[in-house]
Amino acid sequence: MSHTAEIIAVGTELLLGNIVNTNARDISQALSAVGVNVFWHTVVGDNPQRLKDALDVARKRADIIITTGGLGPTYDDLTKQTICEAFGKPLVLHQDILDDLKVFFEKNVHMKMPSNNLQQAELPDGCTVFDNPVGTAPGCAFEADGVHVLMLPGPPFEMLTMLKGHVVPYLRNLSSEVIVSHDIMTFGLGESPMEELMREKMSRMENPSLATYAKPSEVRLRATAKAASIEEAEAMLAPVVKDVTDFLGDYVYGVDVSSLEETCFRLLKEKGMTLATAESCTGGRVAERMTALPGVSAVYRGGVVSYWTSVKADVLGVPKETLDAHGAVSEETARAMAEGARRITGADIAVSVTGVAGPDPDERGVPVGIVFIGLATPDGIFCRPLDLGKRRRDRIQDLSSNHALDVVRRYLAGLPVTLS
């Protein structure tokens, strides 16, 4: 049997924008993996009547309702009380939970349990209890009128712990299907060209299905299959993933990888090579992305943010005559920056970025969006010139750093560095 779910997040702070609703994302991902369709996300403030109204709507269109938040000890934590009233379930005191709460306060807070925490030990009659090893608010699940209702705490760490330890096993017992997805990561084509290129393939697919998701300067294609088992779903997906990756060729930088930098890291390790960076308009973005990866010190030697022309000359050794003749934003300077970074760090390869991120042209009149990516390698020095157009400053910086990593990725994979 196929199940449909609605996730209801409770908390006025979510509506005010003070907190991002990451719980809905994490729960949706977990439910997808166990074959439960999530069709609706709802956010409700700390108001019993509005929560009751949301529950009335949800129970008519979903057979699984999952709530987060409102399970604490304060006066506005009324999720349990409201849900029990809506479904005609009495609240009963669980003495074992109350005892655990008293011990928690004595051992961890060194005080007697406040009286208002008593309500955290009250749960719907006959429910399945989800213990909370990292907080004081237990969760629970019950079935009423053909609807499964699951209540989880709001703090993301507590919710995630309960989701993995209790919710996923609970839901797996309800569903006879699993949903498996693989992400095909691409760089070099925008969302519109990608959609046009893949439209015919996507329109003919139902199960497995194929959908595009745009990221800044990247497109992710998600292939998804629903089947009775993970093995069956994987068997359905394998030919789809191969067909798409073969069709898109060099645009694909990985399957089920998180980023271009992760792919570069893997290729550098495989090749036994090291990398350095020299950045101007990106202000160290490439270095930041690389150094965010655990263990990257094995392959990344260091970098220089040469924002001033004098730093390009004095630190990276870009010849003065190159700067005088061609300017700081030029192919010649990008090549010299990469060569200098490779020389002073001793890295096997070095990538450089120089360009105009805006909002104004540079002192030579080079327009916003003109960028040059240099790459110094044992096989020579390469350059990828770019005209990114007049975009927002941060978009140009992000696009430029992606192009820099793509240049590294392509060289290490034995692909052409320049774009056709």
Q: What is the pLDDT of residue 372?
A: 98
pTM: 0.77
Asked if residue 389 has pLDDT above 80, the reply is yes
For the cut 60, the answer to whether the pLDDT of residue 374 exceeds it is yes
* 17 φ/ψ angles, rounded to the nearest 5 degrees: 85, 10
| Domains of the chain, earliest start first | 3-172 (3.40.980.10), 179-255 (3.30.70.2860), 260-412 (3.90.950.20)
Kindly tell me if the per-residue pLDDT of 217 is higher than 80. no
The yes-or-no verdict on residue 420 having pLDDT over 70 is: no
pLDDT of residue 367: 97
Question: What confidence tens digit (pLDDT) does each residue in 59-77 have?
Answer: 999 999 999 999 988 877 7
Strand order in the sheet with 139-144: 36-44, 3-10, 64-68, 147-152, 139-144, 128-130
**Is residue 216 very low, low, confident or very high in pLDDT (cuts 50, 70, 90)?**
low
Model confidence band, residue 214 (pLDDT cutoffs 50, 70, 90): confident
Mean local confidence (pLDDT), 347-376: 96
User: Average pLDDT for residues 265-279, to the nearest whole number?
Assistant: 98
Decide if pLDDT at 419 tops 80.
no
- Are 79 and 46 contacting, i.e. CB atoms less than 8 angstroms apart? no
Average pLDDT over residues 177-196: 89
Confidence band, pLDDT 50/70/90 cuts, at residue 209 = very high
Confidence (pLDDT) at 1: 62
Confidence band of 5 (pLDDT split at 50, 70, 90): very high
Could you give phi then psi for residue 303, rounded to 5 degrees? Answer: -155, 165
pLDDT-based confidence at residue 176 (cuts at 50, 70, 90):
confident
pLDDT of 364? 94
Are 185 and 220 in contact, with CB atoms under 8 Å apart?
A: yes
Which among 80, 66, 70, 79 is positioned nearest to 28, based on CA atoms? 66
Cα-Cα-Cα-Cα dihedral of 154, 156, 158, 161, to 10°? 130
Write out 269-321 in H/E/C secondary structure: HHHCCCEEEEECCCCCHHHHHHHCCCCHHHCEEEEEECCCHHHHHHCCCCCHH
Q: What is the pLDDT of residue 178?
A: 81
User: Can you give the pLDDT at residue 47?
Assistant: 94
Q: Is the pLDDT of residue 33 over 90?
A: no
Rounded CA-CA distance 411/248 in Å is 18
Tens-place pLDDT, residues 126-158: 999 999 998 889 999 999 999 999 999 999 999
Pick from 39-53, 184-198, 388-402: least confident: 184-198
Tokens of 286: 């490439």
73-108 per-position pLDDT tens digit = 887 779 999 999 999 999 999 999 999 889 888 888
244-265 average pLDDT score: 96
Percent of the residues in the chain that have a pLDDT greater than 70, as a whole number? 99
Tell me what pLDDT residue 191 has: 82
Q: Is the separation of the CB atoms in 186 and 252 below 8 Å?
A: yes
